[in-house]
Amino acid sequence: MRAWVVTEPAPIDAKPLKLVDRAIPEPSFGHVRVKVRTCGVCRTDLHLAEGDLPPHRQATTPGHEVVGTVDAVGEGCSRFSGGERVGVAWLASTCGTCRFCRSCRENLCLAPRFTGWDIDGGFAEYMIADERYIYEIPAQFDDLEAAPLLCAGIIGYRALCRAELRAGGVLGLYGFGASAHLTAQIALSQGARVHVFTRSPAAQRLALELGAASAAGADDSPPEPLDAAILFAPVGTLVPPALEALDRAGTLVVAGIHLTDIPSLDYQRHLFQERSVRSVTANTRNDGEQLLAIAARMGVHPSVSAYALEEAGQALQDLAADRITGVAVLSVSDTSPSAK
């Protein structure tokens, strides 16, 4: 099978991904083999390729927004059978025994494993997944649309929950890529007023098309105080202006797995009046189930740019250069809307 691997992390223009030929893997106990149809291209994949996330193993295949069909089933499996369409997300497995797993906070597990970091992911024709950590895909989403929901959607949803936005509140979104454009749709459907801050004119246009009240530059001030804000861009220098834009008791949520250094904060300008900062770490399986149900019910529509599997490196280069509006998705096999 064809698979992309990260050999030595390097700037994406140096092409750290290599397309190799590998044997088709066999599922072990409790695992299934997935024939990949599509795989979203996430900024986390870019961080892995460039070394912002130190590799956990050599020659790992990235990709953790995977839609495919169960192709083979290992012993002990009971949830899925051959031919069923499934989704594979970032959280690959947890220990199940630490204090966080026992208290329904498996996203903070002390010994987690992640798809496309600890185990091979979906930038390939086949992959192996623990059947306990994969999802049924709602029928109304085709393969290309479904892929971004499995990380961009889930993490954005968790960030929105962490923001604790009041009913009818004002939300600011800093950065407007894969995750933010899905989060905006959920927040708008819940009655929020959304203001978007991004340097991309194309992303600004998409935000307004989706119903945002305003769309401005990343460093601009909002037209009204924000009840909550979510920082999707991995840019630490945006933390102070985002905090300053908050109303009293507002919350800033940092949604990324990687963030550049945060400048010094001024207590009076940035934190006083009970403003707070929260981070997001991975997700629970419950987050995934809830997001998929909400996205189906609310009619969330991912904006997708399709790339062939052979174009994975180009997709990451385009992502790094902000040339993608919405989400890049690799098309690996049949991705027609009827392929469900």
Average pLDDT per block of 10 residues along the chain, 340 residues long: 96 97 98 98 96 92 98 96 96 98 98 98 98 97 98 98 97 97 98 97 96 96 98 97 98 95 97 98 98 97 97 97 94 57
Q: How far is CA 283 from CA 95, 191, 287, in A?
A: 14, 24, 6
pLDDT for 338: 36
> Do 2-153+302-331 and 155-279 agree at the fold level?
no
pLDDT for 333: 84
State how beta strands 17-21 and 2-6 pair.
Answer: antiparallel
What residues have CB less than 8 Å from 266, skipping those under 6 apart? 240
Answer yes or no: are the C-beta atoms of 202 and 139 closer than 8 Å. no
CA dihedral 126, 128, 134, 139 (to 10 degrees): 20
Q: How far is CA 335 from CA 67, 141, 219, 300, in A?
A: 10, 11, 39, 19
The CATH number of 2-153+302-331 is 3.90.180.10
CATH match for 155-279 among 2.40.30.10, 3.40.50.720, 1.10.1040.10, 3.30.2230.10: 3.40.50.720
pLDDT for 336: 42
Q: How far is CA 262 from CA 6, 72, 130, 242, 327, in A?
A: 28, 46, 37, 12, 27
- Look at the block and give the residue holding tokens 């009046």: 273
Answer yes or no: are the C-beta atoms of 148 and 44 closer than 8 Å. no
The secondary element (H helix, E strand) that includes residue 303 is none
Token pair belonging to 261 = 């250094």
Phi and psi of 100, rounded to 5°? -80, -40
The domain spans of the chain are 2-153+302-331, 155-279
Q: How far is CA 326 from CA 132, 148, 306, 323, in A?
A: 29, 9, 11, 10
| Widest distance between CA atoms in the chain | 59
Query: Cα–Cα distance between 177 and 194 in angstroms, integer?
Result: 15
Q: Backbone dihedral region of 322: left (phi > 0), alpha (psi from -120 to 50 degrees) or beta?
A: left
Report the half-sphere exposure of 266 (CA within 13 A, side-chain side). Answer: 6
